[in-house]
């Protein structure tokens, strides 16, 4: 029995990894086709008819502060009373701060497979998917010269669109939320 269990552990890991990879691909396809991208980044993209979104090969911490209402509703249900909602939102905010301080970015080579070109107009970062089916992504203007910088450096004095993707247990996309922002 123990031998069988040890034998199955790598397959379970690969299964979970494949489900996560599927989420990245679905999110990427949504962002590539998102109409707000061209208008929000128009200054950076100038008059380009097309642009390339380059996917960073690292999983990074992306805070949910601008999408906190949606996170609380996904985790705790949409029909919670206002007082409890406010308390849960405060608790979630504190958890986000703590997670951000502890999180260390790491490479995930599978993300590089989403890139069809090495040309960079915009760069897309992903977070790690959560147990609640939440995947976060952040899209920022970037040049090839900036592509080796950390997400903190790229964010500096830059605009971004943060996306929250909510998936069910079968990796079907339930909902997408986005928030536009400016870093100072």
Give the tens place of pLDDT for each residue, 48-100.
777 889 999 999 988 877 777 887 777 777 777 776 767 776 777 677 666 66
Cα–Cα distance list, 67 to 51, 109, 144, 161 (Å): 26, 28, 29, 11
**145 versus 89: which is more confidently predicted?**
145
- Domain presence at residue 82: no
Edge-first strand listing for the sheet containing 53-59 = 106-107, 53-59, 122-126, 134-141, 159-167, 173-182
Specify if 80 maps to a domain: no
In a domain, 175, yes or no: yes
The answer to whether residue 170 sits within a structural domain is yes
Domain extent for 171: 2-64+105-182
For the segment 129-143, the average pLDDT, to the nearest whole number, is: 89
User: How confident is the prediction for the chain on average, in pLDDT?
Assistant: 80
Per DSSP, the chain holds a count of helices (H) and strands (E) of 6, 6
Does residue 46 lie in a domain region? yes
Q: How far apart are CA 38 and CA 49, in angstroms?
A: 9
* Domain contains 176: yes
Residue 140 lies in a domain: yes
**How many independent structural domains does the chain possess?**
1
* 98 located within any domain: no
């Amino acid at each position: 029995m123990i031998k069988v269990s040890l034998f199955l552990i790598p397959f379970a890991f690969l299964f979970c990894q494949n489900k996560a990879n599927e989420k990245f691909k679905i999110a990427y396809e949504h962002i590539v086709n998102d109409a707000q991208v061209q208008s929000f980044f128009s200054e950076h993209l100038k008059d380009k008819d097309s642009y390339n979104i380059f996917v960073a090969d690292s999983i990074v911490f992306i805070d949910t502060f601008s999408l906190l209402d949606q996170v609380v509703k996904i985790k705790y249900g949409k029909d919670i009373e206002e007082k409890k909602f406010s308390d849960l939102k405060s608790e979630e905010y504190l958890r986000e701060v703590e997670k951000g301080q502890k999180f260390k970015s790491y490479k995930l080579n599978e993300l590089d497979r989403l890139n069809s070109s090495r040309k960079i107009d915009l760069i897309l970062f992903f977070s790690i998917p959560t147990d609640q089916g939440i995947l976060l992504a952040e899209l920022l203007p970037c040049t090839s010269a900036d592509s080796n910088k950390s997400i903190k450096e790229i964010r500096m004095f830059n605009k971004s669109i943060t996306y929250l993707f909510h998936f069910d247990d079968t990796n079907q996309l339930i909902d997408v939320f986005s928030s536009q922002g400016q870093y100072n």
